[in-house]
Amino acid sequence: MAKANDLTNGKVSSLILKFYFPMLLTNMLQQMYNIADTAIVGKGLGDNALAAVGNMSSLTFLIFGFSMGLANGFSVIVAQSFGAKDYAKLRRSVASSAMLCFIIALVLSAVSIIFLRPVLGLLRTDAAIMHDGLVYGYFIFGGLIATIAYNLCSCILRALGDSKTPFIAIIISTIVNICLDMLCIFVLKTGVEGAAIATIFSQIVSAFICWLRIRRIDVLNITKEDFKGNGSLYAELFKNGLPMALMNSITAVGCMVIQYFVNGLGVAYTTAYSACSKFINLFMQPACTAGFAMSAFTSQNYGARKFSRIREGLHVCLAIATISYVILGSVMIFFPTYLARIMVCGSEPVKIAGTYLPICGIFLFAVDFLFVFRNGCQGFGKPLVPMISGIAEMALRIGVIALFINVIGFRATAYAEASAWIGALILNMASFEHTLNKSLVTSVIHHKKLRTAA
């Protein structure tokens, strides 16, 4: 049997970096095969097909983000139980999370398919890309259970300090995905449905690999008893998972509003925005991964009541985010058109992307730091402020783009993103500092009482 990785003992920087790098490679590979998908679709099927797939990104984020938020929230309870050495609760938490995610996957899949066409209409999807968008969406949402299964399994493994298995899973699934993409699009000439099928199958592969690892962890010797209904545990899981899920979905609504305005500018702008979004998501990954590390580290040490270690962990993760910003922000600022040409063919979308990426590159620090503080809040089991910050992000995105789209054009989308990042960062930073300082003070008082009693 395999051992879980205890993050509550040992040198903080070494533990986090050892946990961080396999997870970073995992997340970068995920984004790389998203970019590979986009590049293959764009080069193999043309800019309209690329626009159709890209137009789906905010809608898929709405659904996938909800499910990912649930999985992340559920995994906080898993990590805290492991940190507290409560292995009975740990097993029940994993079993209950699996049952709940299975049911939610079926519901989300059905709802997404039923409402796909009217939602694409609300987004002012151009008639030239509507058919491909529908075909791609039906396949992707039909295979939603595979995506949710991978998300949950990888979150459970990260909660237990294992970032290597998801990395191995993503290496294999990325190779599978790219090979199937090229086979379906260039050889079988399937169209956008081929890209969707390749994505779903690769998610099945990665979920299966992670599941095999979970079965081998010694403290997760799950039995039928662990699957018995437990109302208080379900409530605790949803207390953490639902706010995170809603935060992602609320943020996605703001992105959908931006997509609505972008679509109104024409297909060239939709294509450019799709390409820019892929690169921003890729360049966020080092800091996003630092956030995931912060969540797992905070959860385990909060469960073990080792609050001073959390402060050390924060410093390490912020250092990672700062280095990421300096390097990748510079690439976005100075080489925007070179990036755009990787995915799009037409000169107009490349020129449009050149006005968007530098602005986002300047303000990338805000979202990089946001990942660290927001995941820290979630690791405390305090998901309310991250959810409120999601509402703030949505309001800022909608407000800025509605006010300035007719004044400065497409650049308003970049400023809408930047304002959302800054607003959410302020809220999450304040909440994290308040919770950590309160915990540290409480711990000091507790130890003084123990010494006095002795």
Nearest-angstrom CA–CA distance, 116 and 135 = 10
Predicted structure pTM score: 0.78
pLDDT for position 2: 56
Nearest-angstrom CA–CA distance, 237 and 26 = 26
Sign of CA dihedral 25, 9, 4, 75: negative
Q: Residue 1 pLDDT > 70, yes or no?
A: no
- The dihedrals phi and psi of 143, each to the nearest 5 degrees, come to -100, 25
Please state, in angstroms and as integers, the Cα–Cα distance from residue 367 to each residue in 286, 297, 362, 399, following that order: 11, 20, 11, 19
Q: Residue 36 pLDDT > 70, yes or no?
A: yes
As a whole number, mean pLDDT of residues 129-156 equals 92
pLDDT for position 3: 61
As a whole number, mean pLDDT of residues 248-276 equals 86
**Can you list the pairs that 169-172 forms with residues at least 24 positions away whose Cβ atoms lie under 8 Å?**
169/26, 169/205, 169/206, 169/207, 169/209, 169/210, 170/25, 170/26, 170/29, 170/30, 170/206, 171/29, 172/205, 172/206, 172/209
As a whole number, mean pLDDT of residues 359-375 equals 96
Higher pLDDT, 33 or 212: 212
pLDDT for position 26: 81
Higher pLDDT, 142 or 45: 142
pLDDT for position 400: 95
pLDDT for position 116: 93
The greatest distance separating any two alpha carbons of the chain, rounded to the nearest whole angstrom, comes to 77
Please state, in angstroms and as integers, the Cα–Cα distance from residue 127 to each residue in 131, 134, 381, 401, 416, following that order: 8, 11, 45, 24, 27
What is the CB neighbour count within 10 angstroms for residue 407?
A: 8
pLDDT winner (highest mean) among 25-34, 52-61, 65-74, 310-319 = 310-319
Percent of the chain with pLDDT over 70: 96
pLDDT for position 370: 96
Q: How confident is the model at residue 60 (pLDDT cuts 50, 70, 90)?
A: confident
Q: Residue 247 pLDDT > 70, yes or no?
A: yes
Q: How confident is the model at residue 289 (pLDDT cuts 50, 70, 90)?
A: very high
Q: How confident is the model at residue 425 (pLDDT cuts 50, 70, 90)?
A: very high
Nearest-angstrom CA–CA distance, 442 and 12 = 22
pLDDT for position 451: 59
pLDDT for position 225: 87
